[in-house]
């Protein structure tokens, strides 16, 4: 959230851009799937409690968030996140 210009590249072992390099901790981790019984934040894939979590509705689907800032990011560009976690 603090660095909105950073783009995550899933599945990459490391990424180099100019003089910056980064490595992911779990490059081969299976992508989590959000379900009605076990919803995940569409921004970061963290577990959320649907009883207390902030939420938004986009195209008839309810999305829950682990923090208010993630709801704000989602609401600004839901198309960037809505397809990430198919329910």
- Which pLDDT tens digit goes with each residue over 5-48? 776 666 656 667 777 777 665 555 677 788 888 999 999 888 99
- Judge contact between 24 and 13, C-beta under 8 A: yes
Is the pTM higher than 0.75?
no
HEC assignment per residue over 16-74: EECCEEEECCCCCCCCCCCCCCCCECCCCCCECCCCCCCEEEECCEEEECCCHHHHHHH
Number of Cβ within 10 Å of residue 21's Cβ equals 9
Q: Which pLDDT does position 25 carry in this prediction? A: 57
Taking residues 48-56, what's their average pLDDT? 95
Structure tokens at 27: 């490059």
Query: How many angstroms separate the most distant Cα atoms in the chain?
Result: 44
Q: Which pLDDT does position 50 carry in this prediction? A: 94
Q: Which pLDDT does position 73 carry in this prediction? A: 93
Q: What is the pLDDT of residues 54-68, one digit of tens each?
A: 999 999 999 999 999
């Amino acid at each position: 959230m603090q660095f909105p210009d950073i783009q995550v590249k899933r599945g990459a072992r490391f990424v180099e851009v100019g003089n910056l390099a980064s490595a992911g901790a779990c490059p081969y981790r299976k992508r989590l799937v959000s379900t009605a019984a076990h919803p995940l934040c569409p921004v970061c894939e963290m577990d959320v409690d649907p009883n207390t979590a902030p939420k938004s509705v986009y195209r008839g689907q309810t999305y829950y968030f682990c923090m208010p800032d993630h709801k704000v990011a989602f609401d600004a560009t839901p198309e960037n996140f809505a397809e990430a976690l198919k329910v």
